[in-house]
Amino acid sequence: ILFESGLIFFGDRASSNLISLVQGLRENGVEQEEFDPSSVAGVFPELRLGSNEAGYFTRDAGWVQAEKAVRYSVQLTNCTLVATRVD
């Protein structure tokens, strides 16, 4: 139910959102690899960064099948008072 496929964050180097995100990753000990417009092509050939942009790749990021995660969590707790609903 957990897929660690990695994730690349990218944008303007001066963006407060990107700066804050990278700072948060570093403060929490999350390893990331930084890419500039020329180095990103070797790993992500379809991604074109502008001269003012940077990319930050985290290998441990990914996604979770939320419905299964909730269902399994409820099963693990042996809880009968929880109702789940899927729309």
Question: CA-CA distance, 60 to 62, in Å (whole number)?
Answer: 7
pLDDT tens for each residue of 21-76 = 999 999 999 999 999 999 999 999 999 999 999 999 999 888 889 888 888 887 88
CA 60, 65, 68: angle at the middle one, nearest 5?
A: 130
**What's the pLDDT score for residue 47?**
95
Which of residues 60 and 82 earns the better pLDDT score? 60
**What's the pLDDT score for residue 75?**
82
78 three-class SS = coil
Question: CA-CA distance, 42 to 65, in Å (whole number)?
Answer: 30
